[in-house]
Amino acid sequence: MTTQSSLLSQVEAGVAWITLNRTAQRNALDIPTLKNLHALLDQFNADPAVRVVVLTGSGRSFCAGADLAEWAEAEARGALETYGWTETAHALMSRLYSLEKPTIAAINGTAVGAGMDLTLCCDLRIAAQSARFKAGYTSMAYSPDAGASWHLPRLIGTEQAKRLLFLDELWGADRALAAGLVGEVCADEQLLDVTTELASRLANGPTFAFAQTKKLMRESAQRSLPEQLQAELAAGLLCGRSEDGNEALRASIEKRPANFIGR
């Protein structure tokens, strides 16, 4: 396990675990944390030993969003609009969303504002029963600033997104599951085991094909159906020529489980 000022990370059996570790601040995101997390994601994306990335939080909160103490300090010196939090957060959200490896948010507690937005950038979301979700923007007379206005309508539909954003409701895990904000809810004490099982399944899968699938889905909104079919054809050719593609064919012929290596 490696330790940075605000993050813990370790890689085990192809799974990279990143834990937000500012417990006293409820894992709020200051600029150093945003930059450290971005650097870790770059590192893990380039590491062939990493097949899946899991993001979670220490203590009782997943992430309280932007660090309001840092925000207040910037405002006090007249630099609220220029001190760089928003640009740094946007770069991180884009990096997490575009990561080639599958990503899982293991949501262990409250996810507010940009903390909720971090979970939205992940491919899959597992919530502990005690997890809570709150946009947190309009209560501060503010509008979304870290991607919620883009992700939420796509994940849960426009009306549910407006309820969450306009009314700033606090959603429990079961409400989040019913709306489609998360894909699974488990008991608090089972979060680690449930996440580990899912991460292991992904890590043992054809992660090159996962990367191509993620890219296809990300870019589909900008294409017509004929254009998307052409993109699928090109991606399929890459998958078919990959080592995993060859292994899948051999395993099918030999009637045995495939052994994927992510290439």
Q: For the chain, what is the total number of helices (H) and then of strands (E)?
A: 11, 11
Nearest to 14 by CA among 194, 204, 179: 204
Does 105 lie in the same domain as 221? no
For residue 192, what are the domain limits? 2-203
Does 104 lie in the same domain as 51? yes
Domain-ending residue, one of 164, 182, 203: 203
And the tokens for 98? 């575009």
Does 230 lie in the same domain as 175? no
| 8-state DSSP, 137 | S
Please check the confidence at residue 2 and state whether its pLDDT lies above 60. no
Pairing of strands 103-107, 52-57: parallel
Does 70 lie in the same domain as 48? yes
Residues 75-108 pLDDT 10s: 777 767 767 888 999 999 999 999 999 999 999 9
Domain-ending residue, one of 161, 185, 203: 203
Distance of CA 3 to the CA centre of its chain: 20
Domain count, the chain: 2
Please check the confidence at residue 124 and state whether its pLDDT lies above 90. yes
212 lies in a domain? yes
Find the DSSP H helices in the chain: 31-46, 68-76, 85-97, 114-121, 148-156, 158-166, 173-179, 191-203, 207-219, 225-241, 243-254
pTM of the full structure: 0.91
Three-state DSSP state, 142: coil
Give the number of other Cβ atoms within 10 Å of residue 93's Cβ: 22
What pLDDT does 79 receive? Answer: 64
Does 58 lie in the same domain as 114? yes
Residues 162-197 pLDDT 10s: 999 999 999 999 999 999 999 999 999 999 999 999
70 lies in a domain? yes
Average pLDDT over residues 218-236: 94
Which residues 6+ apart lie within 8 Å of 70 measured at CB? 30, 31, 83, 85
Residues 245-256 pLDDT 10s: 888 888 889 888
Q: What is the CATH number of the domain that holds 184?
A: 3.90.226.10
Does 129 lie in the same domain as 172? yes
Pairwise pLDDT comparison (201 vs 77), residue with the higher score:
201
What pLDDT does 163 receive? Answer: 94
Does 64 lie in the same domain as 45? yes
Please check the confidence at residue 143 and state whether its pLDDT lies above 50. yes
Nearest to 89 by CA among 41, 34, 135, 144: 34
